[in-house]
Amino acid sequence: MDSPAADLSQKLSREAEAVCRQYLSNGRKHGNYWVVGDVDNSPGRSLYVRLTGPTRGKGAAGKWTDAATGEHGDLLDLIAANLNLSTLRDTLEEARRFLSLPRPEPPARQRQESTPQGSPEAARRLWAMGKPIAGTLAERYLSARGLTDLRSVSALRFHPNCYYWREKADAYDTPEAWPALLAKVTDTSGTLIGVHRTWLDPQTAEKAPLDPNRKAMGNLLGHAVRIGSPANILAVGEGLETMLSLKLALAGLPIAAALSGNHLAAFDPPTDLRRLYVAIDNDETGQAAFDALADRFEGCDLHLLPLRPMLDDFNGDLLKCPIDEMRSHLRPQLLPVDVPALLAVESD
């Protein structure tokens, strides 16, 4: 059986390019390699990371060498050096965070679950326990964010008592239970492979006083919460509320919420898509995610177009501006051929 470090190293090797784009953003892809100055992400051409190959052994993806110093290793070594992590534990935790993997399971006697916590199987089981948001705390929460008429959105559900494990919980601790808004994460075929949870305060209908108050489980990398069926056009962005707000303004636009800047940069659109609109939050993370997507699809037939909010993000626009003002702001950012369909008013 592989050690936890070996297992994570192999998982990282399958996402070698995404790892490089996150930790070595000043580099660039050259053929089957990512080239950058050094492990500290300096510009240059000294360090080479192999992007393709088997997950272990000779020629494995993720293996790197710095020609100037002679340093070499795998992607776990790269992450540790890049972030100056001094312990294996911290390095493994960072790798799990990047891959959106759950924390290691505590002893089996302490958990009675038949499937591993955080796995796609556990996500499917949690989703099956949810119920429609109509009349629930989740609908109140969304309404307070300006997001209404969402009862028919099948990608959203509500769980009245969703377990919450604190980040530094001991293996023998008992989880808390809070109400939660559930959002279904799917791949391009529509298969459920993850669930995003937003825990809610039953007294205020706002986010619960937890840190963090949002978590995802399952396999997220490259996937998203999807609403609408894309034919030739799709919009993708970071936050769930951001993309739901954009959907209210552009009713004819199918959307996908990647749930973080890192996952937005790694988003895998449908192969037959012609145009991908990218909702860019008004911060460095949003721009970096768009730039990473643009680099990934440079030279491809897929046309990437940015959509920029007036304020910090589109939910901020929705809360502080009339919907017609949002549409007027968005209209010139759309290709003329898309305007009639995307600005059409949908009926529930």
Q: What is the pLDDT of residue 78?
A: 93
Q: What is the pLDDT of residue 103?
A: 53
The DSSP call for residue 267 is: -
Range of the structural domain that residue 48 is part of = 4-99
Q: What is the pLDDT of residue 113?
A: 41
The answer on 234 and 162 residing in a single domain is no
Predicted confidence (pLDDT) at residue 20 exceeds the cutoff of 60: yes
Residue 128 in domain: yes
Contact 245, 224 (CB under 8 A): no
The answer on 137 and 208 residing in a single domain is yes
Residue 185 in domain: yes
Q: Tell me: the pLDDT tens digits for 323-335?
A: 999 999 999 999 9
Q: Which of 67, 99, 131 is the last residue in one of the domains?
A: 99
Predicted confidence (pLDDT) at residue 341 exceeds the cutoff of 50: yes
Confidence of residue 247 (pLDDT cuts 50, 70, 90): very high
Residue 109 in domain: no
Predicted confidence (pLDDT) at residue 168 exceeds the cutoff of 80: no
Write down the H helix ranges in the chain: 4-14, 16-23, 75-83, 88-99, 120-129, 137-144, 240-249, 261-265, 284-296, 314-320, 323-330, 339-342
Contact 264, 236 (CB under 8 A): yes
The answer on 202 and 167 residing in a single domain is yes
Amino acid at residue number 62: G
Q: Residue 286 belongs to a domain with what CATH number?
A: 3.40.1360.10
Whole-number Å distance between alpha carbons of 311 and 245: 13
Q: Residue 151 belongs to a domain with what CATH number?
A: 3.90.980
Q: What is the mean pLDDT of residues 233-242?
A: 96
Q: Tell me: the pLDDT tens digits for 51-100?
A: 998 877 778 899 999 887 778 889 999 999 899 887 888 888 889 888 87
Total of domains in the chain: 3
Q: What is the pLDDT of residue 183?
A: 97
Confidence of residue 167 (pLDDT cuts 50, 70, 90): low
Residue 104 in domain: no
The answer on 73 and 29 residing in a single domain is yes
Q: What is the mean pLDDT of residues 13-28?
A: 92
Q: What is the pLDDT of residue 72?
A: 87
Q: Which of 154, 183, 218 is the last residue in one of the domains?
A: 218
The answer on 228 and 337 residing in a single domain is yes
The answer on 325 and 262 residing in a single domain is yes
The answer on 182 and 134 residing in a single domain is yes
Q: Tell me: the pLDDT tens digits for 181-219?
A: 999 999 988 999 999 999 999 999 999 999 899 999 888
Predicted confidence (pLDDT) at residue 348 exceeds the cutoff of 60: no
Residue 18 in domain: yes
Q: What is the pLDDT of residue 1?
A: 43
The answer on 183 and 167 residing in a single domain is yes
Higher pLDDT pick, 340 / 235: 235
Range among 79-88, 98-107, 336-345 with highest mean pLDDT value: 79-88
Q: Residue 80 belongs to a domain with what CATH number?
A: 3.90.580
Q: Which of 194, 218, 242 is the last residue in one of the domains?
A: 218
Residue 111 in domain: no
The torsion region of residue 41 among left (phi > 0), alpha (psi -120 to 50) and beta comes to left
The answer on 290 and 264 residing in a single domain is yes
Q: What is the pLDDT of residue 231?
A: 83
Residue 80 in domain: yes
Q: What is the mean pLDDT of residues 269-287?
A: 93
In terms of pTM, does the model score above 0.85?
no
Predicted confidence (pLDDT) at residue 165 exceeds the cutoff of 90: no
The answer on 251 and 210 residing in a single domain is no
Residue 110 in domain: no
Phi, psi of 33 (to 5 degrees): -130, 155
What lies within 8 Å, CB to CB, of 272 at 6+ separation is 232
The answer on 57 and 137 residing in a single domain is no
Phi, psi of 144 (to 5 degrees): -65, -20
Q: Is 277 exposed, middle or buried (0-12, 13-18, 19+ CB in 10 A)?
A: buried
The answer on 249 and 189 residing in a single domain is no
- What mean pLDDT is reported for the chain? 87
Confidence of residue 104 (pLDDT cuts 50, 70, 90): low
